[in-house]
A and B are shown apart, each in its own frame.
Chain A
Amino acid sequence: MSNSTQRDTLLRYSAPVRTNHWLVAIAFVLAALSGLALFHPALFFLSNLFGGGPWTRILHPFIGLFMVLVFLALSARVWDDNRMAPADWQWLRQWRDAVNNREERLPEVGRYNGGQKFLFFVLVVCLLGLFVTGFPMWRAYFTLPVGLVRLSSVLHAIGALVLVCAILVHIYAGFWVRGSVHAMLRGTVTPGWAWKHHRAWFRQITHASHPRTGSD
């Protein structure tokens, strides 16, 4: 951890990863608010945040495209650390222990736990789906058969629903596991945090014999 300035903290997210994450986060919030405005009449008022209905319609696809692009960059950075291993499936099977703060019963966790990895792949699938189904709905630039547009519209709504729910879980988990938000904002965690939540990762980065991972 030679690039960590404080002696007693560990670097969990480097500045490029943090920047990338928050670009995705900002794009997501804007895409979700503009998309929800067009999804349900009760939320149409959200279009005021974007300068009215037509501006919401104009901006939403560009925000969405931007989100997909920055998410692509982020997923390239974290892909290798999110491969599912048998211990991750075991972790997921013990989700009750996880949500009830009985972490000591769970298998040792590397850089990401089973839940985080699962969420990551849900996000990958949702964003790919939203990306593909968004184009037929983008009437300003694309004119495709109406059957395809209708199918895309339904799938786009379902993909967005799953994505919004997944991100709500993600945001709450960040708040729930104290120290996570700070880790993503300022980059560092305490040794105790790493020891408790990501012990295999802790060993990996602090033990001399282990190589460092890609998303450091």
Chain B
Amino acid sequence: MPLQSLDIIRRSATTTPEPEVRGAYAGTVAKLIDTTKCIGCKACQVACMEWNDLRDDVGTNFGSYQNPADLSDRTWTLMRFTEYENPKGDLEWLIRKDGCMHCADPGCLKACPSPGAIVQYSNGIVDFQEENCIGCGYCVSGCPFDIPRISKRDKKAYKCTLCSDRVAVGMEPACIKACPTGALVFGTKQEMKEHAAERIEDLKSRGFDNAGLYDPPGVGGTHVMYVLHHADQPALYAGLAPDPHISLLVRLWKGKTKPLSLALIALTALTGFFHFVRVGRNEVDESDEQAARANLEANRRPELRP
């Protein structure tokens, strides 16, 4: 690969190892989203639209600042607004920038049947290669976060790329550039964890005892992480999964079932072949024909008589 930062370490529907000699020894990348600093300005959404040349349809107001209403093929990141009344009776406006989490163990990639339609770079970014996408939507079934969207226009799957094109040449993702409060930061995963630890310590000193980092181990950790005031209740943040993992059904479907099924099909075919080799065909011989004719003569139906 010409760009070391785009070395592919995992590729969908591929059963042999990818080139993995060159590792990300300087550390994988991560985006940290500090929900406690977010003011919901949506500059990140605009930056995403601008950098990626995306213009979603203008939707309708559904009684929330959240706009558009949902992620789509042309909305790769979305501020989700939740009005939460805490036990003290105070209103908390919880705003979470939603989008691809760039799982270390990506369910989309596991589910994808098209070789190379989904790749994972050595820096941790999970990227869709739309030219290889066949539009089956298996990535949607595989994702534990409900992120990929199939375009109605071209039937391809789209999601946040973590600005892999920018990161490849040493730049930050577009959303990071646009954030006015420093709620979005980008760096190596290790740096981001350290930065988060400082933030969490500060939050705890301000009375947010349950502040914490969201880096769910069920999917091997993620390359997009959240600092949450209520890390004990991630679901408060517009239904963020408390313990995401690749669904057991998806693991069944895409795991051992695949090679075992092929083996079973091959075994069935081989059984037929060896039955032929050992037992041979079941053939009618002359004695059967004679017996049949004798029986026919004795019991002819009237209309068949010559």
| Chain A residues close to B by CB (< 8 Å) | 1-2, 7, 37-44, 47, 52-54, 56-57, 99-101, 103, 137, 139-140, 146-147, 149-151, 153-154, 157-158, 161, 164-165, 168-169, 171-172, 175-179, 190-197, 202-203, 206-208
Contacts and interface: CB of A to CB of B under 8 A. Distances in A.
Contacts of B300: 206, 208
Given A150-B247, A206-B299, A139 B137 contact: yes
A215 B143 CA distance: 49
Contacts of B113: 37-39, 41, 44
Interface residues of B, number: 57
Contacts of B284: 178-179, 190, 192-193, 195-197
Interface stretch (B21-29, B51-59, B287-295): B287-295
A145 to B, nearest CB: 11
Given A157-B257, A175-B281, 19 more contacts: A1-B304, A7-B306, A40-B261, A56-B134, A137-B137, A139-B136, A150-B247, A153-B141, A153-B249, A154-B249, A158-B257, A165-B265, A190-B289, A191-B293, A195-B289, A196-B288, A206-B296, A206-B300, A208-B301
Contacts of B155: 54, 140
A176 B290 CA distance: 22
Contacts of A57: 134-136
B264 interface: yes
Contacts of A147: 247, 249
Nearest to B270: A168
Contacts of B261: 39-40, 157, 161
Nearest to A40: B258
Contact of B281 (A54, A158, A177): A177
A43 B303 CA distance: 55
A39 B257 CA distance: 10
A71 to B, nearest CB: 20
Contact of B150 (A42, A101, A139, A191): A139
Interface stretch (B80-88, B231-239, B271-279): B271-279
A101 B292 contact: no
Nearest to A172: B272
A211 to B, nearest CB: 11
B253 interface: yes
Contact of B280 (A101, A103, A164, A191): A101
A154 B115 contact: no
B268 A176 contact: no
B168 to A, nearest CB: 26
A44 B114 contact: yes
A114 to B, nearest CB: 15
Contacts of B146: 146
A60 B283 CA distance: 38
Contacts of B285: 192
Nearest to A205: B301
B267 to A, nearest CB: 9
A193 B146 CA distance: 59
B14 interface: yes
Contacts of B39: none
B186 interface: no
Interface string B247-270: 101101100011101101100110
Contacts of B13: 41, 44
Contact of A41 (B15, B289, B295): B15
Interface in B97-147: 113-115, 132, 134-138, 140-141, 146
A29 to B, nearest CB: 14
Contacts of A161: 261, 264-265
Contacts of A150: 141, 247, 249-250, 253
Contacts of B280: 101
A148 B249 CA distance: 10
Contacts of A100: 279
A1 B305 CA distance: 11
Given A154-B249, A164-B265, A165-B268, A208 B299 contact: yes
Nearest to B285: A192
A140 B141 CA distance: 14
B302 interface: yes
